[in-house]
Amino acid sequence: MQYDASLFPKLIAHAKEHGFVFQSSEIYDGLSAVYDYGPLGVLLKNNLRELWWKSMVQLHANIVGLDAAILMHPTVWKASGHVDAFSDPLIDNKDSKRRYRADQLIEDHIAKLLDKARKDTEKKFKKEGREDVPADEFQRRMGGDRNAQKATEIQARFEAALGASDWPGLRTLIEEADIVDPDTGSRNWTDVRQFNLMFRTQLGAMAEGASDVYLRPETAQGIFVNFLNVQRSQRLKLPFGIAQVGKAFRNEIVARQFIFRMREFEQMELQFFIKPGTQREWFDYWRETRLRWHHKLGLAPARLHLHPHTKLAHYADAAVDIEFEFPFGFKELEGIHSRTDYDLSRHEEFSGKKLRYFDPDTNESFVPYVVETSVGLDRCFLTHLCNAYSEEPAPTADGEEALRTVLKLHPLVAPIKAAILPLVNKDGMPEIAEKLRRELATDFMVVGEDKDTIGRRYRRMDAKGVPFCVTIDSQTLADETVTLRHRDTMAQERIALSQVHSVLQSALSPKAFFAE
Ligand code: GAP
């Protein structure tokens, strides 16, 4: 299944119109790649954060939480490798004055060549009257296509240049592959240079004597430097995990896909400390556990896949991305990394302090290995919006066909769980609705709404992703029943007013979600 990419601008407009996401400082023309969450956005984000926290900390006896500060000692970032290596290759176009990531320009070019090759191969088979060609035969024939061969050659040169940090080589490749500015078609490029993504600021009131510190680019290091504090204070035995949710900051070179790539964002990270030699088993466990978590929250399995890394970061002995099919293609949602003992060993080296685990069973002391799971909260949010957004035909009250926009969010993720709607503003209906709203509000995020026709109110609730509408009408006055409307099917059923709470409770119970 392929996304309809034309829905993406509509989804961005929808997110603003209904109070999910706003551009930061919009009245000043905005701050690039920085966003604010509106009334519905903050609810949805809180739900995702809470579901992650419960899944990780509450349900695992051997995982505890942490909330480390954003500012850390500057040597942390030397030890972690971020000062020397947390950078992207940057290139400017001299005519358009636009800035790009050189690696992304090349990757996009390769993707275009492969896409062309795929389409040309499809055409050739079609001409021969063959539609359902076996995948391996298709790949073989596509491999002979001129554009596919070009893509393979560029890919090999790209990997070699990147592996050797050969920035002039990347620039030559961009020129020789005839890669142009995607916006203007210009070929007038600057040299490629390295750009460190960390935001730098100063600690202390006086500029003199103040020291440079960084806004953390990942939450992980706060966990590593607190490894012994947490392990000793909680008397933890291996294997155990430390989980953290918090802000991270990256001065991204290119950030043009709404909240996909932000300069200020939130990460939900787990560092799971294990005995050396057991990393493969735990890596597999966390990959499957995290993939299942996304499936269980309703992300379409066809839109999720695993992308194992073939080229590993210097600290990792295995890595895999859980990718989601965004409207702009399959992209990373979450990373699972087997980080060996790299981080703790580096902090031992740079701090001069021992960061070891004493195993009481063997009387040995050693630096544990780590398996990390790291997912962006904002990216998870975008994934759910993309997965849920749909436009579909829906008959109006007078029987005409109309289009409804609906967010088919998982009920546990949905910001508002139910809307309580008096059919008309008289005969005591608003009072019954308000009483019910107040009763439900202690347990669920519910709203009341009495403006407009009931049909329009249903559409508005669909657009906000509200899974249930409860309507108080004249029959309620007669027999104390209400209409319960289901968002996804638009089906309506009659239930007792006194049953509304228990119906919502069972539909919104996290028990089934958390049960393994
Ligand atoms: N501690 C490991 C780490 O930070 P990463 O792959 O750089 O690894 C992990 O980031 C996750 O954080 C990504 O999978 C993504 O969900 C999220 N993320 C990274 N950069 C982001 C950005 N600029 N905007 C939004 N989310 C981002």
Q: What is the pLDDT of residues 262-291, one digit of tens each?
A: 999 999 999 999 999 999 999 999 999 999
Is 60 exceeded by the pLDDT of residue 2? no
| Atom of ligand 1 at shortest range from CA of 269 | 1
pLDDT of 17: 97
Q: Is residue 261 in contact with ligand 1, taking CB distance under 6 Å?
A: yes
In which residue are the tokens 């027999």 written?
479
Nearest ligand 1 atom to alpha carbon 255: 23
Q: How far is Cα 260 from Cα 262, in angstroms, rounded to an integer?
A: 6
266 lines ligand 1 (CB under 6 A): no
User: How many whole angstroms from 256 Cα to the centroid of ligand 1?
Assistant: 15
Q: Model confidence over 38-68: pLDDT tens digits?
A: 999 999 999 999 999 999 999 999 999 999 9
Distance (angstroms) between ligand 1 centre and the Cα of 364 equals 35
Sort strands 329-340 and 357-359 into parallel, antiparallel or unpaired.
unpaired
Question: Ligand 1 centroid to 219 CA: how many Å?
Answer: 10
Q: What separation in Å is there between the alpha carbon of 360 and the centre of ligand 1?
A: 36
pLDDT band at 3 (very low <50, low <70, confident <90, very high): low
Q: What is the pLDDT of residues 121-130, one digit of tens each?
A: 999 999 999 9
| pLDDT for residue 1 | 43
What is the reported pLDDT for 207?
Answer: 61
What is the Å distance from ligand 1's center to 325 Cα?
16
> What is the distance in A from the centroid of ligand 1 to the CA of 16?
24
Q: Is 335 in the pocket of ligand 1 (CB under 6 A)?
A: yes
| pLDDT band of 397, cuts 50, 70, 90 | low
Write out pLDDT tens, residues 465-474: 999 999 999 9
Q: Ligand 1 centre and the CA of 268: distance in Å?
A: 9
User: Which ligand 1 atom sits closest to the C-alpha of 321?
Assistant: 14
Give the Å distances, CA to CA, from 469 to 121, 357, 395, 459.
Answer: 50, 54, 18, 11
Question: For the stretch 126-160, what's the b/e string if a residue is b when 16 or more beta carbons lie within 10 angstroms of its beta carbon?
Answer: eeeeeeebeeeebeebbeebebbebbeebeebbee
Supply the residue whose CA is at minimum distance from atom 12 of ligand 1.
Answer: 376
CB distance 216 to ligand 1 below 6 Å: no
491 — pLDDT class (breaks 50, 70, 90): very high
Tell whether pTM > 0.85.
yes
- 376 Cβ closer than 6 Å to some ligand 1 atom: yes
For ligand 1, the distance from its centroid to the CA atom of residue 383, given in whole angstroms, is 14
Give the tens place of pLDDT for each residue, 156-206: 999 899 888 899 999 999 999 999 999 899 999 999 999 999 999 998 876
Distance (Å, whole) CA 91 – CA 102: 6
- Over the stretch 63-77, which tens digit does the pLDDT of each residue have? 999 999 999 999 999
Of the candidates 474, 224, 450, 438, which has an alpha carbon nearest to the alpha carbon of residue 350?
A: 224
- pLDDT per residue over 408-465, tens digit each? 999 999 999 999 999 999 999 999 999 999 999 999 999 999 999 999 999 999 999 9
Q: Could you tell me if the CB of 222 is within 6 A of ligand 1?
A: no
State yes or no: pLDDT of 102 exceeds 80. Answer: yes
pLDDT more than 70, % of the chain: 98
Binned at pLDDT 50, 70 and 90, residue 516 comes out as low
**Exposure letters 448-479 (e unless 16+ CB within 10 A, then b):** bbbeeebeebbbbbbbbbbbbbbbbbeebeee
What per-residue confidence (pLDDT) applies to 131? Answer: 84
| Furthest-apart CA atoms within the chain: distance in Å | 81
Higher pLDDT, 111 or 310: 111
Nearest CA to ligand 1 atom 7: 218
213 lines ligand 1 (CB under 6 A): no
Ligand 1 closest atom vs CA 380:
16
**Angle, helices 102-127/146-163, rounded to nearest 10 degrees:** 160
Q: What is the DSSP letter of 368?
A: P
Regarding the beta carbon of 86 and ligand 1, being less than 6 Å apart is answered: no
Ligand 1 in reach of 375 Cβ (< 6 A)? yes
* Ligand 1 neighbour 271 (Cβ under 6 A): no
Residue nearest to atom 20 of ligand 1 (CA): 261
Closest atom of ligand 1 relative to the 261 alpha carbon: 24
304 within 8 A of 297, measured Cβ to Cβ: no
339 Cβ neighbours under 8 A, 6+ residues apart: 271, 315, 316, 369, 370, 371, 372
Q: Which ligand 1 atom minimizes the distance to the CA of 262?
A: 24
Distances (CA, A) of 196 to 94, 200, 251, 255, 351: 21, 10, 8, 15, 23
- At 135, is the pLDDT very low, low, confident or very high (cuts 50, 70, 90)? confident
Q: Is 343 in the pocket of ligand 1 (CB under 6 A)?
A: no
Pocket of ligand 1 contains residue 265 by CB under 6 Å: yes
